[in-house]
Structure 1
Amino acid sequence: MLHAVIMAGGSGTRFWPASRTLRPKQLLTLHGDRTMIQSTIDRLGDLVPASRQMIVTNKVLVDAIAEQLPSLLPKNIVGEPCKRDTAPCVGLAAALVHHEDHDAIMAVMPSDHVITSHEAFQAAIAAGEALIKEDPTRIVTYGIPPKYAAESFGYVERGEPITAEGASVFQVKQFREKPDAETARRYVDAGSFYWNSGIFLWRASTILEALQKNEPEMYSHIAAIADRIGKADYAETLEKEFAAIQGKSIDYAVMEQYPNVVVIEAEFPWDDVGSWQALSRLHQADEAGNTVVGSHVGIDSQGCIINTHDGHTVVTIDVDDLIVVQTPDATLVAPKHAEERVREVAKQLKDKGLEGLL
């Protein structure tokens, strides 16, 4: 059967001050009227029932996610004891899914994408499921046709086409890490590269075998956890064994080495909401080019991104290309070109004894 696993352990530091430790990006409403994680569940529709939907997140977020997703079974909101990147997250989820269903196919996806066509997304997942049923050793990923030479995404280079019904499918030639500007332009000009969406399909048994082969030490800890599922000491074993894992991304651990990966060209609209500038892609700008979520009065202000709290108005005068985010207890003002430096805020707040703002 098809299972959905949603990775929701990120901290969303680039969305400070709206994103906080106990309310990170995936729990915010940045597009539409549903939070990011609610929207991720919504787009699954009837493709995967709630009983086969799993969230893997930081253990401190379990209660908040349960509140936002009351349809999920409590056991299907899995709290990681500590942050260990995506490969251990995938391994833990695969072990839990495999315990329930030895023939399970897993659709694995992040919790912080905007995909506005549910129908196209579900069709793409169904196409991937068919490809795995045809060849159970396959791993399927989804490539986003690049709209510009992005330096913030990894890339997938496609190889030979594969015959498939209802989808454009190619053998993966190679994965490429985030490039510099010149390399990104070369990728886009070549016409054979996609943005790496970070959405995958595989059999649970396939990904566990790949981790066992490529990351035997990591796998040994996952196997120790799997051995205690349903036992009285499961929680204790999870705490101990998961913390002992050396973190690594699933791309490094498996994807870049696995010999049988195919990429489906995504026909659904997609946005990786990675920073405040994403708001300018998700919301219509005003006549001055300002993207405003909330209340704003602008005098000779162009190209700004304004996000305000209910009941608060931001006024800007004679400024261009600023990011202004207002919350009840903190305000961010930064030039758009420096948005990556929002990551540095956490250290500065800790140094100044302002951990309550994190």
Structure 2
Amino acid sequence: MLHAVIMAGGSGTRFWPASRKLKPKQLLALSGQRTMIQSTVDRLGDLVPKEQQWIITNQLLADAVREQLPELPSENVVGEPCKRDTAPCVGLAAAMIQRIDADGIMVVMPSDHVIASHEKFQAAIKAGEKLIEEDPTRIVTFGIKPSYPAESFGYIERNDAATLDAGDVSAFRVKQFREKPDATTAQEYLDRGTFYWNSGIFLWRASTITDALKKNVPEMSDHLSKIADAMGSTDFDSVLQKEFSAIKGTSIDYAVMESYDNVVVIEAPFPWDDVGSWQALSRLQDPDENNNTVVGQHIGIDTKGSIIVGQPDHVIVTIDVDDLIVVQTKDATLVAPKAAEERVREAVKALEERGMTDKL
């Protein structure tokens, strides 16, 4: 059976002040009426039954996630007691799924991406399933054909000589995973044409990933097995707290993907955006005649190329400004040049240092 695992534990600090500790970006509606995590579940359609959809989030957000996704079984929303990166997140889901479905296949995805075509997304997942059915030890990932030399994404280098039969999509054996590059290297990747952005979407048998974790990070695997063994028992919460907290966190790329020798990349046939920062809004909705992206009420006088986000009952007026980000919430306002958007994290850190935890 196919199971879907949605990773929803991120803090979304680059979307401060809208994104907060108790309501990070995956719980916000940044592109439409549905929140990002609701849209991620919507994308699955009938591909995966609701009882086989799993949300791995953090304990602080578990109830809010259940409230936003009442159609999912409550026990399928699992709250991690602490942040331990993506390998324990994936491993926990895999261990739990394997207990109830020994041959289960997992599609793993972040909760904060925008993928416009549900039909193309589901077709790509089905193509990946076919590749895994042909070779159960295979891992499938999805690469995004780069449209510019991005420095903020990891990359996947494909082996151009080994195209695989995956129906209507293009699939290649993976040659190497690459870390986020500098500007010169990113341009080189773009020019060579054999590199993809790493989407962070994966497909594999639960047994394949648990075996890989057991081999590469055995101590982590032991803790995860103990948690999975406690599924359905009255001790589950206490075992989860104890064993998960004892794990040394690392990413799934580092723990498995970079060293695994049977990885296939499907060139994603669907439009994709990782919605990593406020400038993503300009890609998700059409700017006005002055290239401003506006959410809320705005009066712009000689204002160009800016992103303006405000509360519905609040008017933002800008005069003679270019390329600004202005975000207003009920208790905080952000004003920054678009070129400095990565420094929003510094603002969050400064709030922490000053003890202004009510603004986080």
Report the TM range for the smaller structure's normalisation.
Answer: over 0.9
- How far is the alpha carbon of 1:228 from its aligned partner? 2.0
* Deviation string, structure 1 residues 200-227 (Cα, Å, up to 9, x no partner): 0000000000000111111111122122
SS at match of 2:322: coil
- Determine if the alignment matches structure 1 residue 175 to structure 2 residue 177: yes
Alignment match, 2:64: 64
Instruction: Give the Cα–Cα distance (whole angstroms) in 2 for the partners of residues 130 and 2 of structure 1.
Output: 12
Q: Which deviations, in whole Å up to 9, do the C-alpha atoms of 1:255-313 show, x marking residues without a partner?
A: 00001000001010000000001011111111111111111111111110011111111
How many Å separate the matches in 1 of 2:142 and 2:31?
22
> 1:10 corresponds to which residue?
10
AA aligned opposite 1:240: K
Between the aligned partners of 1:164 and 1:67, the Cα distance in structure 2 is 38
**Aligned partner of residue 140 in structure 2, secondary structure:** strand
Cα distance in 2 for partners of 1:3, 1:246 equals 26
The 2-side partners of 1:353 and 1:223 are apart by: 38
- The TM-score with structure 2 as length reference comes to 0.98
Identical pairs, percent: 70
Structure 1 unaligned residues grouped into runs of 5+: none
Task: Tell me the residue number matched to 2:51.
Answer: 51
Could you tell me how far apart the structure 2 residues matched to 1:188 and 1:244 are? 41
3-state DSSP of counterpart to 1:194 = strand
Matched residue count: 358
The Cα shift of 1:32 comes to 1.4
Query: Aligned to 2:252, which of 247, 250, 254?
Result: 250
* Cα-to-partner distance string for 1:97-133 (whole Å, 9 max, x where unaligned): 1111111000000000000100000000010011111
| 2:317 maps to which of 315, 318, 334 | 315
CA distance, structure 2, for counterparts of residue 98 and residue 21 of structure 1: 32
1:207 aligns with 2:209: yes
DSSP-derived class of the 1:301 partner: strand
Give the secondary structure class of the aligned counterpart of 2:133: helix
Q: Name 2:20's counterpart in structure 1.
A: 20
Kindly report structure 1 stretches of 4+ aligned residues shifted beyond 4 Å.
none
2:3–2:53 CA contact under 8 A, matched in 1: yes
Q: Report the equivalent of 1:106.
A: 106
8 Å CA contact 2:142, 2:199 repeated in 1: yes
For residues 198 and 351 of structure 1, the distance between their equivalents in structure 2, rounded to whole angstroms, comes to 32
- 1:178-202 deviation line (CA, Å, top 9, x unaligned): 0000000000000000100000000
Segment of structure 1 superposing worse, 341-350 or 141-150: 341-350
Give the AA of the match of 1:352: R
Q: Which amino acid aligns with 1:2?
A: L
Q: Which amino acid aligns with 2:180?
A: K
1:239 aligns with 2:241: yes
Q: Using the TM superposition, give the Cα deviation of residue 163 of structure 1 relative to its aligned residue in structure 2, in angstroms.
A: 2.1
SS in 2 for 1:318: strand
What does the per-residue CA deviation read over 1:149-193, in whole Å, with 9 as the maximum and x for residues that have no partner?
A: 000001001112112222211000000010000000000000000
Q: Is the 8 A contact 2:128 2:166 kept in 1?
A: no
Letter of the 2:185 partner, please give it: T
Q: Distance between the aligned counterparts of 1:228 and 1:58, measured in 2?
A: 18
Task: Give 1:123's aligned residue.
Answer: 123
Superposed CA RMSD: 0.8
